[in-house]
Structure formats: C-alpha cells, structure tokens
Amino acid sequence: MKNFSKLVYPYVAWMCVMIIVPMLMIVFYAFTRQGNSVLTLQFTLENFARFFSDDIFPTVLWRSLKMAFITTVICILVGYPFAYFMAKTKPNNSALILLLVTLPTWINMLVRTYAWRGILSSEAFSAELRVYIGMVYNFLPFMILQIYTSLSKIDPNLLIAANDLGANERQAFLKVTLPLSLSGVISGITLVFLPAVSSFFIPKLLGGGQYVLIGNLIEDYFISTGDWNFGSAISLIMAIIILISMYITKRLDRESQEVTD
C-alpha cells in the first residue's frame, strides 16, 4: 500500500504547478503596483479600491451575477421536467434520450458557440438574448444529467408506499420525489452557476462586444491592456465570490440531506 501511495506524487506536483502557483501569482499581482521590480516592491490596495470606486466595474459584476442566476433558473425550469421525463420512461428509451442530451457535449464548447453565432447572426435578437441562448444551450446538459442521476436513484417502493398511505401523484412528488432529488438540483446549480458567472467567450462571440461580463474584463486586462495587477484583483474578487457560492451550495446540499434522512 505504501508503494502505491507514491503514485500520488506526480499529481501533487502537477496540482502545485498548474493550480497553486498560478493562484499565488494572482494574489501577488493583485496586492502590488504595476511596474514593480524586486528591489522596489510595494504592496497596495489600490487595485481593489479602483474596482469598487468606479461604477462601471461593480455594474459589470452585478450583470455577470444576474446573468448566471437567470441562466441557472432557466436550466432548472427546463432541465427538471426533462430529467423527470427521462427517469419515468423505459430504460431503453431513457438511454437513447441520455445519449441525445450528452451528444452535443462531445463537441468543444467553443465550436458549439461559433455554430450558434452563425445561427443567430441572421436573427434580430438583442445581444443580451443571444448570450442567454448560448449560456442555456451550453450549460443545460449539466443540469439535466445531475437531476436525472438523483431521480434515477430514488427507490420506487417509496412512491408505492406514499400511494398506499393515501397520497396522490402530486403529493407523492412534493413529499417524496422533490426532496430526494434536491441534491441533484444543487449539484446542477454548482455546475451551471459557477462557469456561467465567469464565462468570457460566450458573451464575446454571441454578444459581439456589446454585452461585457466580468470574464471579459479579466481577459481584456490580462491580454489587451496588459495590466496584470488590476486583472489579478478582479480575478481574486471573482475567486472569493465563487468560493462563497460553493460554500452556500454545499451547505444547502448538507441541509437537504439532513431533511431527507
């Protein structure tokens, strides 16, 4: 067993190089001035003060959070009935539907977004609506799969017992199916909200530069402007928001499991 434990060392090294070191660099740049040398290094909070003192940046952040929230709600409203239908169909039919749901994810998300750019280019949609369409299309399968997984694990005998106790179909759904599937809904929220709030190429391609989100700001300050310090400050703010969101969803998941238990 000790020999097998050594196999984890390459993964730890890879995680340090590809995750921990870049995060430390972002923190370093976020709290330093632009153009610092090693000998004249100065730490500052000006990058964060600049973000919150200008009305433009909080507005873009709020727009990103709003878009991610609405996208998540739409995915739940569309994904839950679809996943419920999949769970209720025959195994052969549900397997076919599951294949059709996952089939688009076999294609790179960037390629799919480019396809939607061509489809929507001839339509008189607003930039915001085009971005919403791209967001929902790209992230909806993740919501469906998570909810379907939780629904398929529900013991049918529980529904039979609910019917024997006098519950109708609606009451059985509200009292048994819905509470037991909340873990899948929360997992789907995590897989939709977090990437949606930080997405940058979907609004860039489908919005045509007219609908800027926080991910576009980070990209511009790192690549176009070259202001890594301010870009790192924005990235750190987004990282904190994502960590808070993950904590909230994890706590909701724990509470839902406690209720069902």
SS (HEC) of 13-60 = HHHHHHHHHHHHHHHHHHCECCCCCCCCCCECCHHHHHHHHCCHHHHH
Extents of the domains making up the chain: 55-260
Residue 234 φ then ψ, to 5°: -65, -40
pLDDT at 183: 87
> Could you tell me the pTM of the whole model?
0.86
The CATH superfamily holding the domain 55-260 is: MetI-like (1.10.3720.10)
Residue 64 · residue 214 · CB < 8 Å: yes
- Rounded to whole angstroms, how far apart are CA atoms 159 and 151? 12
Helices 91-102 and 127-152, axial angle in degrees (round to 10): 150
Per DSSP (E only), the strands in the chain are: none
Spatial CB neighbours of 41, under 8 Å, sequence gap ≥ 6: 32
- Rounded to whole angstroms, how far apart are CA atoms 103 and 124? 29
pLDDT at 160: 80
- Provide DSSP, 157-209: HHHHHHHHTT--HHHHIIIIIHHHHHHHHHHHHHHHHHHHHH--HHHHHHSTT
Residue 199 · residue 182 · CB < 8 Å: no
Chain length of the chain: 261
pLDDT at 8: 77
pLDDT at 142: 93
Q: What is the pLDDT along the chain (261 residues), one digit of tens a residue?
A: 556 677 777 888 888 888 888 888 888 888 888 765 555 677 888 889 999 988 888 999 999 999 999 999 999 999 999 999 998 888 888 888 888 888 888 888 888 888 888 888 877 888 889 999 999 999 999 999 999 999 988 888 888 888 877 778 888 888 888 888 888 999 899 899 988 998 888 888 888 777 888 888 888 888 888 888 898 999 999 989 888 988 888 887 777 666 565
